[in-house]
Protein backbone atom coordinates (compact mmCIF):
# COMPACT_ATOMS: atom_id res chain seq x y z
CA UNK A 1 0.00 0.00 0.00
CA UNK A 2 1.37 3.45 -0.86
CA UNK A 3 2.40 6.07 1.68
CA UNK A 4 -0.36 8.50 0.74
CA UNK A 5 -3.11 5.91 1.17
CA UNK A 6 -1.76 4.54 4.41
CA UNK A 7 -1.55 7.97 6.04
CA UNK A 8 -5.25 8.83 5.68
CA UNK A 9 -6.45 6.89 8.72
CA UNK A 10 -10.19 7.07 7.98
CA UNK A 11 -12.08 4.46 5.99
CA UNK A 12 -13.19 5.41 2.51
CA UNK A 13 -16.85 5.80 1.55
CA UNK A 14 -16.67 6.20 -2.22
CA UNK A 15 -14.74 4.78 -5.17
CA UNK A 16 -14.04 6.71 -8.39
CA UNK A 17 -12.30 4.91 -11.25
CA UNK A 18 -10.89 5.76 -14.66
CA UNK A 19 -12.04 3.86 -17.76
CA UNK A 20 -9.20 3.28 -20.23
CA UNK A 21 -6.44 1.25 -18.60
CA UNK A 22 -8.46 0.54 -15.43
CA UNK A 23 -11.82 -0.88 -16.51
CA UNK A 24 -10.20 -2.01 -19.77
CA UNK A 25 -7.04 -3.90 -20.65
CA UNK A 26 -3.90 -1.92 -19.94
CA UNK A 27 -2.96 0.95 -22.24
CA UNK A 28 0.30 -0.57 -23.47
CA UNK A 29 -1.23 -3.86 -24.65
CA UNK A 30 -4.25 -2.11 -26.17
CA UNK A 31 -2.13 0.43 -28.00
CA UNK A 32 0.25 -2.27 -29.20
CA UNK A 33 -2.64 -4.19 -30.77
CA UNK A 34 -3.74 -1.04 -32.61
CA UNK A 35 -0.15 -0.30 -33.67
CA UNK A 36 0.25 -3.80 -35.07
CA UNK A 37 -3.00 -3.56 -37.02
CA UNK A 38 -2.20 -0.09 -38.39
CA UNK A 39 1.53 -0.75 -38.81
CA UNK A 40 2.29 2.23 -36.59
CA UNK A 41 5.62 2.71 -34.86
CA UNK A 42 4.63 3.47 -31.25
CA UNK A 43 7.77 5.56 -30.84
CA UNK A 44 6.50 7.76 -33.67
CA UNK A 45 3.07 7.90 -32.05
CA UNK A 46 4.76 8.92 -28.79
CA UNK A 47 6.59 11.75 -30.54
CA UNK A 48 3.30 13.04 -31.95
CA UNK A 49 1.71 12.93 -28.49
CA UNK A 50 4.66 14.68 -26.86
CA UNK A 51 4.31 17.55 -29.32
CA UNK A 52 0.82 18.10 -27.87
CA UNK A 53 1.06 16.91 -24.27
CA UNK A 54 4.63 17.62 -23.25
CA UNK A 55 7.10 15.03 -21.89
CA UNK A 56 5.02 14.22 -18.79
CA UNK A 57 1.60 14.50 -20.41
CA UNK A 58 0.90 17.61 -18.36
CA UNK A 59 2.25 20.55 -20.40
CA UNK A 60 -0.62 22.75 -21.51
CA UNK A 61 0.01 24.33 -24.92
CA UNK A 62 -1.74 27.42 -26.25
CA UNK A 63 -3.46 25.28 -28.90
CA UNK A 64 -3.70 21.62 -27.91
CA UNK A 65 -5.85 19.26 -30.02
CA UNK A 66 -5.73 16.44 -27.44
CA UNK A 67 -6.90 18.64 -24.57
CA UNK A 68 -9.54 20.30 -26.74
CA UNK A 69 -10.89 16.89 -27.76
CA UNK A 70 -10.99 15.71 -24.14
CA UNK A 71 -12.99 18.81 -23.20
CA UNK A 72 -15.36 18.36 -26.15
CA UNK A 73 -14.21 21.61 -27.76
CA UNK A 74 -13.39 20.08 -31.17
CA UNK A 75 -15.04 17.35 -33.21
CA UNK A 76 -13.57 13.87 -33.65
CA UNK A 77 -12.88 14.26 -37.43
CA UNK A 78 -10.82 17.40 -36.70
CA UNK A 79 -8.73 15.56 -34.14
CA UNK A 80 -8.31 12.52 -36.38
CA UNK A 81 -6.91 14.77 -39.10
CA UNK A 82 -4.39 16.26 -36.63
CA UNK A 83 -3.31 12.78 -35.52
CA UNK A 84 -3.13 11.36 -39.04
CA UNK A 85 -1.08 14.34 -40.23
CA UNK A 86 1.30 13.93 -37.30
CA UNK A 87 1.79 10.23 -37.97
CA UNK A 88 2.24 10.89 -41.69
CA UNK A 89 4.97 13.43 -40.91
CA UNK A 90 6.71 11.14 -38.41
CA UNK A 91 6.58 7.95 -40.46
CA UNK A 92 6.79 9.26 -44.01
CA UNK A 93 3.66 7.55 -45.33
CA UNK A 94 0.02 8.54 -45.57
CA UNK A 95 -2.35 7.64 -42.71
CA UNK A 96 -6.11 7.43 -43.17
CA UNK A 97 -7.77 9.94 -40.83
CA UNK A 98 -11.39 8.77 -41.17
CA UNK A 99 -12.23 6.34 -38.35
CA UNK A 100 -8.74 6.51 -36.83
CA UNK A 101 -9.94 6.81 -33.22
CA UNK A 102 -12.53 4.07 -33.69
CA UNK A 103 -9.80 1.75 -34.92
CA UNK A 104 -7.57 2.73 -32.00
CA UNK A 105 -10.21 1.89 -29.38
CA UNK A 106 -10.95 -1.48 -30.95
CA UNK A 107 -7.77 -2.62 -29.20
CA UNK A 108 -9.32 -2.06 -25.77
CA UNK A 109 -11.22 -4.91 -24.14
CA UNK A 110 -13.24 -5.25 -20.94
CA UNK A 111 -11.26 -5.86 -17.71
CA UNK A 112 -13.62 -8.31 -16.01
CA UNK A 113 -11.80 -8.33 -12.65
CA UNK A 114 -11.84 -4.55 -12.11
CA UNK A 115 -15.42 -4.16 -13.31
CA UNK A 116 -16.50 -6.89 -10.88
CA UNK A 117 -14.61 -5.17 -8.06
CA UNK A 118 -16.46 -1.90 -8.69
CA UNK A 119 -19.79 -3.74 -8.68
CA UNK A 120 -18.95 -5.47 -5.39
CA UNK A 121 -18.02 -2.11 -3.90
CA UNK A 122 -21.37 -0.64 -4.89
CA UNK A 123 -23.24 -3.73 -3.66
CA UNK A 124 -21.52 -3.31 -0.30
CA UNK A 125 -23.23 0.08 0.06
CA UNK A 126 -20.47 2.44 -1.05
CA UNK A 127 -20.89 5.15 -3.68
CA UNK A 128 -19.16 4.55 -6.99
CA UNK A 129 -18.23 6.79 -9.90
CA UNK A 130 -16.34 6.84 -13.18
CA UNK A 131 -14.15 9.80 -14.22
CA UNK A 132 -12.74 9.51 -17.74
CA UNK A 133 -10.96 11.72 -20.25
CA UNK A 134 -12.73 11.02 -23.53
CA UNK A 135 -10.99 10.96 -26.90
CA UNK A 136 -14.35 11.15 -28.64
CA UNK A 137 -14.84 7.44 -28.09
CA UNK A 138 -18.13 5.83 -27.14
CA UNK A 139 -18.44 3.94 -23.87
CA UNK A 140 -20.01 0.48 -23.42
CA UNK A 141 -22.97 1.79 -21.43
CA UNK A 142 -24.64 -1.65 -21.47
CA UNK A 143 -21.71 -2.97 -19.41
CA UNK A 144 -22.04 -0.13 -16.90
CA UNK A 145 -25.76 -0.58 -16.16
CA UNK A 146 -26.29 -0.19 -12.40
CA UNK A 147 -22.54 0.06 -11.80
CA UNK A 148 -22.11 3.76 -10.99
CA UNK A 149 -23.85 6.46 -9.00
CA UNK A 150 -21.94 9.12 -10.95
CA UNK A 151 -20.38 9.17 -14.44
CA UNK A 152 -18.22 12.14 -15.48
CA UNK A 153 -16.89 12.22 -19.06
CA UNK A 154 -14.48 15.06 -19.83
CA UNK A 155 -16.00 15.91 -23.21
CA UNK A 156 -19.47 16.21 -21.65
CA UNK A 157 -18.44 18.64 -18.90
CA UNK A 158 -15.78 20.72 -20.68
CA UNK A 159 -13.05 19.81 -18.20
CA UNK A 160 -10.31 17.18 -18.16
CA UNK A 161 -7.93 15.42 -15.80
CA UNK A 162 -5.60 16.54 -14.28
CA UNK A 163 -7.43 19.88 -13.87
CA UNK A 164 -8.48 20.38 -10.26
CA UNK A 165 -11.93 21.58 -11.24
CA UNK A 166 -12.95 18.18 -12.66
CA UNK A 167 -12.04 16.47 -9.38
CA UNK A 168 -14.02 19.11 -7.49
CA UNK A 169 -16.98 18.64 -9.84
CA UNK A 170 -16.89 14.85 -9.42
CA UNK A 171 -16.55 15.11 -5.65
CA UNK A 172 -19.63 17.32 -5.49
CA UNK A 173 -21.68 14.79 -7.45
CA UNK A 174 -20.42 11.96 -5.24
CA UNK A 175 -21.70 13.91 -2.19
CA UNK A 176 -18.72 12.90 -0.08
CA UNK A 177 -15.69 14.75 1.29
CA UNK A 178 -12.49 14.48 -0.79
CA UNK A 179 -10.76 12.45 1.91
CA UNK A 180 -13.59 9.90 1.80
CA UNK A 181 -13.04 9.22 -1.91
CA UNK A 182 -10.63 6.71 -3.42
CA UNK A 183 -9.56 7.59 -6.97
CA UNK A 184 -8.02 4.93 -9.25
CA UNK A 185 -6.20 5.83 -12.49
CA UNK A 186 -3.45 4.23 -14.56
CA UNK A 187 -1.74 7.59 -15.23
CA UNK A 188 0.36 8.83 -12.32
CA UNK A 189 -0.09 12.54 -13.02
CA UNK A 190 -3.88 12.12 -12.77
CA UNK A 191 -3.47 10.30 -9.45
CA UNK A 192 -1.16 12.99 -8.10
CA UNK A 193 -3.67 15.69 -9.04
CA UNK A 194 -6.42 13.81 -7.20
CA UNK A 195 -4.19 13.55 -4.12
CA UNK A 196 -3.41 17.26 -4.31
CA UNK A 197 -7.17 17.89 -4.26
CA UNK A 198 -7.49 15.73 -1.13
CA UNK A 199 -8.64 12.37 -2.48
CA UNK A 200 -6.96 9.06 -1.73
CA UNK A 201 -5.07 8.12 -4.89
CA UNK A 202 -4.26 4.65 -6.19
CA UNK A 203 -1.98 4.28 -9.20
CA UNK A 204 -3.42 1.28 -11.03
CA UNK A 205 -0.73 -1.10 -12.28
CA UNK A 206 -2.19 -4.54 -11.58
CA UNK A 207 -5.56 -5.78 -10.40
CA UNK A 208 -4.00 -7.54 -7.42
CA UNK A 209 -2.27 -4.40 -6.15
CA UNK A 210 -5.31 -2.15 -6.61
CA UNK A 211 -7.73 -4.67 -5.08
CA UNK A 212 -5.49 -5.13 -2.05
CA UNK A 213 -5.39 -1.36 -1.42
CA UNK A 214 -9.15 -1.07 -1.84
CA UNK A 215 -9.76 -3.86 0.68
CA UNK A 216 -7.68 -1.96 3.26
CA UNK A 217 -9.12 1.46 2.54
CA UNK A 218 -12.75 0.33 2.71
CA UNK A 219 -12.22 -2.07 5.59
CA UNK A 220 -13.94 -4.85 3.63
CA UNK A 221 -12.81 -7.83 1.59
CA UNK A 222 -14.11 -6.51 -1.72
CA UNK A 223 -11.45 -8.15 -3.88
CA UNK A 224 -13.26 -11.51 -3.95
- For residue 58, what is the domain's CATH number? 1.10.150
Answer whether residue 175 is part of any domain.
yes
Same domain, 136 and 206: yes
Of the three residues 68, 84, 105, the one that is the final residue of a domain is 105
User: Tens digits of per-residue pLDDT, 155-206?
Assistant: 899 999 999 999 999 999 999 999 999 999 999 999 999 999 999 999 999 9
Domain range for 15 is 3-24+110-218
Of the three residues 105, 131, 164, the one that is the final residue of a domain is 105
User: Are 72 and 152 contacting, i.e. CB atoms less than 8 angstroms apart?
Assistant: no
Same domain, 60 and 119: no
Same domain, 194 and 154: yes
User: Tens digits of per-residue pLDDT, 121-133?
Assistant: 999 999 999 999 9
Q: pTM (2 decimals)?
A: 0.77
Same domain, 157 and 92: no
User: Tens digits of per-residue pLDDT, 170-184?
Assistant: 999 999 999 999 999
> Would you tell me how many other CB atoms lie within 10 Å of the CB of residue 64?
17
Q: Is the peptide bond before 162 cis (omega within 30 degrees of 0)?
A: yes
Of the three residues 70, 90, 105, the one that is the final residue of a domain is 105
Same domain, 134 and 210: yes
User: Are 215 and 15 contacting, i.e. CB atoms less than 8 angstroms apart?
Assistant: no
Answer whether residue 159 is part of any domain.
yes
Amino acid sequence: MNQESASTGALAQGLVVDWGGVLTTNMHDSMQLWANNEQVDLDAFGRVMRQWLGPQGETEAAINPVHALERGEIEVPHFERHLADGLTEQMGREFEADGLLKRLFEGFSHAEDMNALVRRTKSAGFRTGMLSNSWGNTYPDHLFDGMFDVVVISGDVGMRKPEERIYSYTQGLMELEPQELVFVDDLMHNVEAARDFGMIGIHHVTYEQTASEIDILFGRELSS
